[in-house]
Structure 1
Amino acid sequence: MTDDAPAPDLRASDADREQVAEVLREALAEGRLDMEEFQERLDAVYRARTYGELAPLTRDLPASGAAVAPAVSLTKDPVAGGGWAGRIVGGDDSGTSTWAVAVMSGFQRKGRWTAPRRFNAFAFWGGGEIDLREANFADREVVVNAVAIMGGIDVIVPPGVEVVVRGIGVMGGFDHREEGVPPEPGAPRVIVTGFAFWGGVGVQRKLPRAERQRLREERRREKQALKEERRREHLARAEEQRREHLDAAERHRRELEASRRPHDPLNLHDPLDLHGPRKQHERRAEDD
């Protein structure tokens, strides 16, 4: 921990917990953790409230195959999806990649990269994917110029981004389904333009991978909670049925004992009845 890092008792964010969960998932895939250890640590991740609670969970694990064992970062780095202001870099940043070509092949631009103000893509008898879900943006408005000749290009944007489609298709087409969706405040605008001949340019809106993983984990935890609740309900019903069975058995036993007693309306066979006819007869005999 550096001197200027926040104290371990500061509250951790959802993004911090997802960062630690991703390290655990990679450790599981690499065989560094077994499933039981992974489940225990993952449960601890989502229960954690502070940096101090998160740090021990990855202290003995490398991050993304690194040779050194990292602790959770106590500094606040910009995170994809954590606010649009941190993802629009502006200035003189021209982007980490400005073009892509696929001729009878394919290309991908995905992950953490900076989308330039204008990105040119060409696909001939091939296909390409331009994934902006985790990307930074060189400006508040970026242009994706896609040319697809007997091929296809997919543009993937995260929720909240405004999409404008201006391409021309000849025996092909551009996907306009994501147009008209209201943008989030401060979100960038992505303009998809170009030309499609016997091909197509698709536009899809998808959640970032970390968010999808978080939702899957939430659904998994909800299913586990539901299963646990159903198990408790089943045990409670079983216990109630057991008690009802015992009560019914006890009632049956008492009824059976009562049915085995001799019919004695005058209570002649009751040795404790001091006022019955038999006792009165015995007392008269003693008096004589």
Structure 2
Amino acid sequence: MSTTTPSALKRSNVVISGTSGLNTQTMVFLDCLGGEQSMWRLLVPAFEEQYRVVVVELIGMGNSDLTAYGRAAHSTLEGHASDLLKVMSELALHDAVFVGHSAGALIGVLAAVREPQRFAKMVLVSPSPRYIDEQDCAGNFEHKDINELLAAMDGDYNGWSQAFAPVVAGTDEHPEMVMELTNSFVRTNPEIARHFARVSFFSDSRAALPFFTIPTLIVQSANDVIAPLAVGHYINEQLADSRMVVVETGGHCPHLSAPQKTLSAMDKFLHHETAR
């Protein structure tokens, strides 16, 4: 008996909202490790009157099709970029605004290098092309730091989730955010989370940056131990057409800890000419 392969939209648990119309521009949101649709809830409503909003989950995260996750197919961020492009192809998207967080931001960059016609503008929230500290890109980790993080995930995934969530939140002002992130990590399949963490934290997307020409906004938290300011400045210097906005908040998720400031930066970028 033959089986039907689920569509890219079903595999990535795509949710579409907002305005529909022949000339309506689409805005695509993509999160990262432990990400769920709800992570964008503080931004999405602000764009639904003007855009068709498409929220995509990484395969393996949230309510995506876990059976579609493969260690070989998703052994690099390029594999996830292919998933994103399949979604955009199925929706026949061109000249879309892309908003990506953390590793999701770099997945968007890789996708845009391959098929730039699908993207008009990019918003990269807390991006990092390389998490390991090296001479030309000041990541915030040594190899041993990442190995220790991965060992903690392997040894006690729930314990790691409870310890890592406050690092991602980066603030004592929003305990509910720490709880939300903890629960999101815990709900993620541990085997997939461990594999994706290895792929993400050891990834190196620096070579793609010189080929990336889409107008871009980099949204950077003022105090982020995962993607520090130096990394944001590095990306801004490498891109041909970008600007960087530092949001006065802590942690790796300014779209959750400072949504109004993030929205303000996005609004200025989307409605004005990009300037370095």
TM-score, structure 2 as length reference? 0.23
Bigger RCO of structures 1 and 2 (CA < 8 A, at least 6 apart): 2
Structure with greater helix percent = 2
Higher Cα radius of gyration? 1
TM-score, structure 1 as length reference? 0.22
Structure with greater strand percent = 1
